[in-house]
Amino acid sequence: MAVTNLKCRECGEAYELTAQYVCHKCFGPLEAAYDHSTLGSDPSELKRRIQSGPQNIWRYVDFLPLEQGQPGPSARQLSRVGLPAGCTPLVKADRLAERLGLGEVWVKNDAHNPTHSFKDRVVAVAAARARELGFDTLACASTGNLANAVAAAAAALGMPSYVFIPADLEEQKVLFTGVYGTNLVKVNGNYDDVNRLCTEVSGERESWAFVNVNMRPYYAEGSKTLAYEIAEQLGFRTPDRVVAPIASGSLYTKLAKGFDEWRALGLADGDAPVMNGAQALGCSPVATAFEAGTDVCRPVKPDTIAKSLAIGNPADGPYAVELANRSGGSIDSVTDDEIRDGIRLLAETTGIFTETAGGVTTATLAKLAERGDIGRDERVVLVITGDGLKTLDVVRGTFEAHEIEPRFDAFESALGVTA
Amino acid sequence: MAVKVKLPTQLRANAGGASEVSVDGATVGEALEGLYAQHPELRERLADGDGGLRRFVNVYVDGEDVRFGDGLDTAVKDGAEVQILPAVAGG
C-alpha cells in the first residue's frame, strides 16, 4: 500500500493511520499522505494493473488509504462486500455544448451509483477503513445524499447505523434513507446544527465510525476516484476544465488532488485542469470569499432549494478558494430560478435528470459560457453528483401535461397536431 | 459572569482530562482568557498569533456560531455555554 500516514494540512504534523481528523497541535484538518514510489516507476504497468481491476472504484485501490486489497485482479475481493461504487458513465454532451456555444462538453453522471449520488464513493472508502480499524457502527451527519449512502452501505455490510439529518430535508431523501433500516435522527436545525451535534456525539461514542467526522481523512479520499475515472475514460488524459459543485469544498479539492497525483505519476497526460466551483446563491460562503479576494469563508444561514449543498460553514472553504485561484478558475453562484433552469437544460439536452446540486453545476457552466470564460477549443467536464428523483418537488409544475379522453380526435385537438 | 466552556475530546488532555471548565467573563474572548489562565497549554492550540482564533477552530455560544455575532467580542450571559469544536463538515 502507498498510503503512509495522516498529515496536518496546516502545520504538516504527521499521525498514524487511525480514526482521527484533527491536528492536536493546531486544530487543522488531517489528510492522507502517500509514498507513490512503492508503486514502481512504469506508468504502463500501473495502467495495466488498473485496467485488470474490477469495474468499480476498487480498481484504484493503489491510490486509496486502505491496508487491504492488493492491486489488479485481486482487488475484486473488495468488491464482494458492501456496495461497490463508481465506474459511472462519462457522456459526450454535444447538444448541451451546442446550446451553450461551447466546443466540447462531457457529463460525468455520478447519479449512476448504488444510491444515486457520488457519496457512495466516499462511503465505500470510509466503511472499508472503518472495518479495518474495528469499528462496529457507521454514522454520519448529512444533507441527504450521504444519509442514503451510509444507510445502504451499513445494510449491505450488516452494521448498525445512525444517520443525522436536518428535519426539513426533502421527503424523497428521507424515505430513501429510512427504508434501509437505519436509526434515522431528524434534528430541528440546519445542516450546520446537525454537524455540530455530530462532532460532539462523535467524541463521546468511540466505537462509532462517523464517516464524515472521525473517518473524514479516509472518506474524503474517495472523491479522488471521480478524477481518476474521468482521466481514464478520456484515455488517461486530463480535461481542460472541470465544473463541480461546492458544499464543504471537499469534492472540489479532492478532484484536483486526484488529477495532480496521476499527472505526477505519468498516468494522465495534459495540464492541471482549470477548476470551476458552483454554489447556490442562497448558500454561497465560498463564492463570496472568492469574489472578495479572501480565503476566509464567513458562515451563512442557508436559504436555497439546493439542500444537498446547504452547508453554511464549509470546512474546506479556504482550500477551495486557494484551488480556484491556483488553477485559473473561479467559484460562482446561481439563483434558485437558474438552478431550476439548469436542471431543465441538462435534462432536455442530455437525457440526464439531476437533482438541485446538478442544477447548480449546470447553471454555473451556462454562466461561464455566457461570460465568455470558456474557449471553443476546451474540453470541459461537468460533474453531476446526484439524481433528480431525489428532489422532485422543484420540477413540479414546470411543464404542461395534456389530459384527454381516450379518443383520437381528442388527442389531435389537445396537441394541435393534424395530419 | 459565570460561564461554562465545553471542550472537545481533542483538547481534554491539555485540560487535565476535563470536558467542561467554569470560568468568568462577559464576552467570549474573556471566557477564553479565563480558560487559558486555568490551562495555559490551550492557548497555543486555539489562538493564532494576532489575538484571533486559528482558522479551523469553531466557537459557539448556546449553539450559535460566534461569527454570526461579534466574534470574540460576542457577549455571554450568566450561565451561558461556550462550546469549542474543530471545523469539520461535508454531507
DSSP element (H, E) containing A50 = helix A43-51
* Residue to test with chain B: of A120, A140, A170, A196, most B Cβ within 10 A: A196
Closest to B89 (Cβ–Cβ): which among A203, A248, A318? A248
Residues A22, B86: C-beta atoms closer than 8 Å: yes
Considering only the top CATH level, what class is B2-86?
A: alpha beta
Check pLDDT > 80 for residue A25: yes
Cell of A162: 445512525
Domain map (residue ranges) of chain A: 90-116+223-395, 119-221
- A247-282, pLDDT tens digit by residue? 999 999 999 999 999 999 999 999 999 999 999 999
Residues A200, B83: C-beta atoms closer than 8 Å: yes
Shortest distance between the Cα of B89 and any Cα of chain A, in A, equals 5
Residues of B with Cβ-Cβ distance to A200 under 8 angstroms: 8, 83, 85
Cell of A128: 472499508
Is the domain defined by A90-116+223-395 classed in CATH 3.30.70.20?
Answer: no
ipTM field: 0.90
A119-221 and A90-116+223-395 share a CATH fold: yes
Q: Give the fold, CATH level 3, of A119-221.
A: Rossmann fold (3.40.50)
Residues of A with Cβ-Cβ distance to B10 under 8 angstroms: 20, 22, 24, 27, 203
Phi-psi region of A378 (alpha: psi -120 to 50; beta: other; left: phi over 0): beta
Check pLDDT > 80 for residue B89: no
Check residue A72 and give its pLDDT: 54
Check residue A77 and give its pLDDT: 74
B38 three-class SS: helix
* This prediction's pTM: 0.95
Check pLDDT > 90 for residue A345: yes
Side by side, the strands of the sheet bearing A104-109 are: A90-92, A104-109, A379-384, A241-245, A274-280, A330-334
Cell of A131: 472495518
Residues of B with Cβ-Cβ distance to A315 under 8 angstroms: 56, 87-90
Interface check for B48 against chain A (CB to CB < 8 A): the answer is: no
Closest to B65 (Cβ–Cβ): which among A10, A200, A299? A299
- A311-332, pLDDT tens digit by residue? 999 999 999 999 999 999 999 9
- A62-114, pLDDT tens digit by residue? 999 998 755 555 566 778 788 999 999 999 999 999 999 999 999 999 999 99
CA distances from A286 to A116, A269, A365 (A): 26, 30, 17
Closest to B88 (Cβ–Cβ): which among A29, A193, A318? A29
- A189-241, pLDDT tens digit by residue? 999 999 999 999 998 999 999 999 999 999 999 999 999 999 999 999 999 99
- A43-52, pLDDT tens digit by residue? 999 999 999 9
Exposure pattern of A13-27 as b/e (b: 16+ CB <10 Å)? eebebebbbbbbebb
A65 within 8 A of A57, measured Cβ to Cβ = no
- A109-151, pLDDT tens digit by residue? 999 999 999 999 999 999 999 999 999 999 999 999 999 999 9
Do you know the residue count of chain B?
A: 91
* Residue to test with chain B: of A27, A251, A300, most B Cβ within 10 A: A27
Measured between alpha carbons, how far is A365 from A374 in angstroms, rounded to an integer? Answer: 9
B11 three-class SS: helix
Check pLDDT > 70 for residue B90: no
Task: For A175-214, give the DSSP string.
Answer: HHHHTTT-EEEEESS-HHHHHHHHHHHHHH-TTEEETTTT
- B27-74, pLDDT tens digit by residue? 999 999 999 999 999 999 999 888 899 989 999 999 999 999 999 999
**R_g over Cα of chain A:** 21
A416 confidence band (pLDDT: 50, 70, 90) = confident
> Phi then psi for A105, rounded to 5 degrees?
-125, 135
